[in-house]
C-alpha cells in the first residue's frame, strides 16, 4: 500500500514512517501536566489503593493455592534489579556493560551513554503466570470470585478469606466459567487462577498464540479454543459466546477496568522498591519507564498508577513492534482506535506474540492519552538481539517482554532530546532513573528459549 494515500500521514508525517514499518519515537503531543488530567477522570488514586487492598485480602488464599507464594505471604511481585548487580556478576571488568550492548543492539552509536541509574523490572519472573499479565489477570479473577461469594452469602467482607477454599464454595464456583480472549499470557494468568479457585476456564486464543502456552493451559484443565483470526477477532468471538450464557464471566481485555486497576497496583509496589533502593523521584530527579505494549492495558495501568504517585516527575514510554503499533497510531493519528494497523498496510507479523494486537483498547486510550510521554517501535531483529544480550546475563525473557529495552537509545536521538528540553529536564539527566520493564518469559520451555537464542545469534 502506498502510504502517501493515508490521509492522516500529511497531518503527522512521522506516521508515514510507521506505515513503512520503520522504527520511530513519537513524542505525545497530547501529554498534559498531571494536575490538569485528574479533573473528570473516571478513576483516581483511591481506586488504585482499593485494588491493592483487595489483593491484600486475598493474599492468604493465594499463598494457600500456590506454594511458591508462601515465602512472600501471597504477594505477587517481581524484583527491581539494578544493572550494576548484573554487571558485577557477569562482566568481571570487561569494558562493555549491559547498557552499552543494548544501545549498540538498538542501532544507537553509543558514544554518548544516557546518564542516570538503570534498572530492570523483572516481571518476566512474576510468580504463578510468568508475565506482567499476572498483575491484571489474577486481580480480575479475584474480583469476580469475591463479588460472587459476597452476593451469595458465602463470604462477608470481614471474614477470613481462606473460607473461599472450602469444598462448598469451590463446588459453587464450579458452576461458573471465566472466559477470556488472549494471545497467550493473559490466558495463562486467568486460566491458572480460575481453575485453582474451582471455576471452569475457557481461553480463546488468537492465531499468534504459541503452542506451549496452549499445552500448559490444557494440562491445567483449561478449555483452549483456537481461532484462525487475530487477537481482536478472538476477543470478539469470546465476548459473543460469553454473552449468551449468564454463567460465563468474560474478561474483556479491550475494556476492562478491573484488569486496568490490577496493573495499576504496580505503581505502589515500584515506589516502595525505589525507596528501598534509596532512589529519589521529583522534578529534578526524573523517572523514565519503558513499557512493552499490546492492547495497552498493562502499560496503561502501570502508567496510571505511577502518575498518581509521581505526577510530572515520571515519564512513561510505550514500546511496540514495528508491525503492531496500535497505540502509537491511535495516539498519533488523532483517530483513536478507529484506525487499525491494517489501515496503514502493516501485517501484525512479529516475533513478539504477546504484543501482536492490531487495535488499541478504547478504555485505555481514554484513561492515558494525556499521561503517556510517547511511543516507540522496535523491529524483530532488535528484539532478538536484546534477548541474546539478556540471556548472556542470566535473564530469560521472551521477545514480547523486551521491547522496552530500546527506550534509553531513543532518548538519545533528536526527538528524545527535544522531549527532555520541552520538559525542562535535560540538565537533570545525571540524576535520572530508568526502568526497563521486562514483561514475560520465565515459563518459556527451555528448548523454545534455546531456539530463540540461536535465532538471535544467526546473522
Ligand atoms: C500482554 C503482554 C504485554 C502488554 O500488555 P497489554 O495489556 O496487551 O498492552 C507485554 N508483555 C507481555 C509479555 C505480554 O504478554
3-state secondary structure 44-100: CHHHHHHHHHHHHHHHHHHHHHCHHHCCCCCCCCCCEEEHHHHHHHHCCCCCCCHHH
Q: Is the CB of 326 under 6 A from ligand 1?
A: no
- In the three-class reduction of DSSP (H, G, I as helix; E, B as strand; rest coil), residue 248 is classed as strand
Cell numbers representing residue 366 in the block:
481514554
Does the pLDDT value for residue 143 go beyond 70? yes
**For position 288, what pLDDT does the model report?**
98
Range 200-206 average pLDDT:
95
pLDDT the model gives residue 391: 95
Distance in angstroms (rounded) separating the CA atoms of residues 353 and 358: 12
When computed from its CA atoms, the radius of gyration of the chain, rounded to whole angstroms, is 21
pLDDT digits (tens, 9 = 90+) for 211-223: 999 999 999 999 9
Tell which wins on pLDDT, 47 or 157. Answer: 47
Helix axes 257-276 and 297-310, enclosed angle (nearest 10) = 50
Do the beta carbons of residue 307 and residue 268 sit within 8 Å? no
| Residue recorded with cell 514510554 | 317
Percent of the chain at pLDDT exceeding 70:
94
Cβ contacts of 2 within 8 Å, gap of 6 or more: none
Cα of 284 from ligand 1 centre, angstroms: 31
- The C-alpha atoms of residue 262 and residue 434 are separated, in whole angstroms, by 23
132 within ligand 1 shell (Cβ under 6 A): yes
Cβ 187 under 6 angstroms from ligand 1? no
Is the pLDDT confidence value at 1 over 50? no
32 has pLDDT over 60: yes
Q: Residue 211 burial (CB < 10 Å; 0-12/13-18/19+)?
A: exposed
Give, using CA atoms, the residue closest to atom 15 of ligand 1: 354
From ligand 1's centre to the CA of 206, what distance in Å?
A: 14
Cell matching residue 140: 480480575
Q: Does residue 89 carry a pLDDT above 80?
A: no
CA 372 to chain centre: 14
Question: 37-51, 109-123, 272-286, 414-428: which has the minimum mean pLDDT?
Answer: 109-123
Atom of ligand 1 nearest to the CA of 291: 10
pLDDT reported for residue 378: 97
Q: What is the pLDDT of residue 39?
A: 83
Whether the pTM exceeds 0.85: the reply is: yes
Q: Is the CB of 292 under 6 A from ligand 1?
A: yes
**Ligand 1 within 6 A of CB of 354:** yes
* C-alpha dihedral, 449 to 452 to 456 to 459, nearest 10°: 130
- Supply the residue whose CA is at minimum distance from atom 1 of ligand 1: 354
Average pLDDT, integer, range 63-70: 97
Contact yes or no for 172/154 (Cβ under 8 A): yes
How far is the centre of ligand 1, averaged over its atoms, from the C-alpha of 171 (Å)?
32
* CB 200 near ligand 1, within 6 Å: no
Residue 131 Cβ inside 6 Å of ligand 1? The answer reads: yes
Most confident of 9-23, 227-241, 350-364: 350-364
What does the pLDDT read at residue 111? Answer: 64
DSSP string, 317-376: EEEEETT--HHHHHHHHSSGGGS-GGGGT-----S-GGG--SS--HHHHHHHTTT--EEE
Determine whether the shortest distance from the Cβ of 299 to ligand 1 is under 6 A.
Answer: yes
pLDDT mean over 416-435: 96
Contact 310, 287 (CB under 8 A): yes
* Ligand 1 site-directed mutation target among 294, 296, 302, 441, most atoms within 8 Å of CB: 294
| 130 CB within 6 A, ligand 1 | no
Residue nearest ligand 1's atom 2 by CA: 354
Q: Is pLDDT above 60 for 440?
A: yes
More confident residue, 101 or 6: 101
Q: Is the CB of 321 under 6 A from ligand 1?
A: no
Compare 101 and 311 and report the one with higher pLDDT: 311
Q: Mean per-residue pLDDT for 2-8?
A: 48
Q: What is the DSSP string of 181-200?
A: EESSHHHHHHHHHHHHHT-E
Region label for 111, one of left (φ > 0), alpha (ψ between -120 and 50) or beta (otherwise): alpha
Query: For position 110, what pLDDT does the model report?
Result: 54
325 lines ligand 1 (CB under 6 A): no
Q: What is the mean pLDDT of residues 425-454?
A: 96
* Predicted pLDDT of residue 113: 75
Amino acid at each position: 500500500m502506498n502510504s502517501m494515500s493515508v490521509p492522516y500521514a500529511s497531518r503527522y508525517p512521522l506516521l508515514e514512517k510507521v506505515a513503512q514499518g520503520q522504527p520511530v519515537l513519537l513524542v505525545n503531543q497530547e501529554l498534559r501536566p498531571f494536575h490538569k488530567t485528574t479533573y473528570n477522570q473516571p478513576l483516581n488514586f483511591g481506586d488504585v489503593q482499593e485494588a491493592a487492598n483487595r489483593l491484600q485480602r486475598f493474599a492468604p488464599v493465594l499463598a494457600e493455592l500456590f506454594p511458591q507464594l508462601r515465602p512472600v505471604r501471597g504477594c505477587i511481585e517481581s524484583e527491581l534489579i539494578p544493572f550494576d548487580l548484573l554487571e558485577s556478576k557477569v562482566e568481571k571488568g570487561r569494558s562493555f556493560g549491559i547498557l552499552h550492548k543494548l544501545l549498540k543492539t538498538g542501532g544507537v552509536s553509543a558514544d554518548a551513554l544516557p546518564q542516570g541509574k538503570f534498572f530492570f523490572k523483572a516481571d518476566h519472573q512474576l510468580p504463578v503466570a510468568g508475565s506482567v499479565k499476572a498483575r491484571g489477570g489474577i486481580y480480575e479473577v479475584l474480583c469476580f470470585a469475591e463479588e460472587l461469594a459476597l452476593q451469595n452469602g458465602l463470604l462477608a467482607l470481614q471474614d477470613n478469606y481462606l473460607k473461599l477454599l472450602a469444598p462448598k464454595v469451590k463446588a459453587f464456583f464450579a458452576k461458573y466459567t471465566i472466559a477470556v480472549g488472549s494471545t497467550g499470557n493473559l490466558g495463562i494468568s486467568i486460566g491458572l487462577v480460575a481453575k485453582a479457585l474451582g471455576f471452569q476456564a475457557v481461553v480463546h486464543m488468537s492465531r499468534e498464540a504459541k503452542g506451549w502456552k496452549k499445552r500448559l493451559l490444557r494440562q491445567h484443565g483449561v478449555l483452549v479454543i483456537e481461532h484462525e483470526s487475530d487477537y481482536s477477532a478472538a476477543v470478539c468471538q469470546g465476548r459473543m459466546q460469553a454473552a449468551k450464557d449468564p454463567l460465563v464471566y468474560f474478561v474483556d481485555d479491550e475494556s476492562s477496568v478491573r484488569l486496568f486497576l490490577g496493573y495499576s497496583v504496580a505503581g505502589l509496589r515500584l515506589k516502595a522498591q525505589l525507596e528501598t533502593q534509596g532512589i529519589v523521584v521529583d522534578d529534578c530527579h526524573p523517572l523514565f519507564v519503558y513499557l512493552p505494549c499490546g492492547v495497552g492495558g498493562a502499560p496503561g495501568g502501570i502508567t496510571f498508577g505511577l502518575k498518581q504517585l509521581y505526577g510530572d516527575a515520571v515519564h512513561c514510554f510505550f514500546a511496540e513492534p514495528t508491525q503492531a503499533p496500535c497505540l502509537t497510531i491511535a495516539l498519533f493519528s488523532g483517530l483513536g482506535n478507529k484506525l487499525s494497523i491494517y489501515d496503514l498496510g502493516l501485517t501484525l507479523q512479529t516475533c513478539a506474540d504477546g504484543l501482536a494486537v492490531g487495535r488499541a483498547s478504547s478504555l485505555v486510550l481514554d484513561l492515558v492519552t494525556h499521561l503517556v510521554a510517547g511511543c516507540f517501535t522496535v523491529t524483530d531483529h532488535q528484539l532478538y538481539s536484546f534477548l541474546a544480550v539478556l540471556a548472556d546475563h542470566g535473564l530469560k525473557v521472551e521477545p514480547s517482554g523486551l521491547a522496552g529495552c530500546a527506550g534509553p537509545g531513543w532518548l538519545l536521538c533528536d526527538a528524545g532530546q527535544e522531549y527532555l528540553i520541552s520538559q525542562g529536564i535535560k540538565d537533570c539527566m545525571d540524576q535520572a532513573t530508568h526502568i526497563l520493564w521486562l514483561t514475560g518469559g520465565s515459563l518459556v520451555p527451555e528448548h523454545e528459549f534455546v531456539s530463540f537464542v540461536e535465532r538471535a545469534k544467526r546473522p
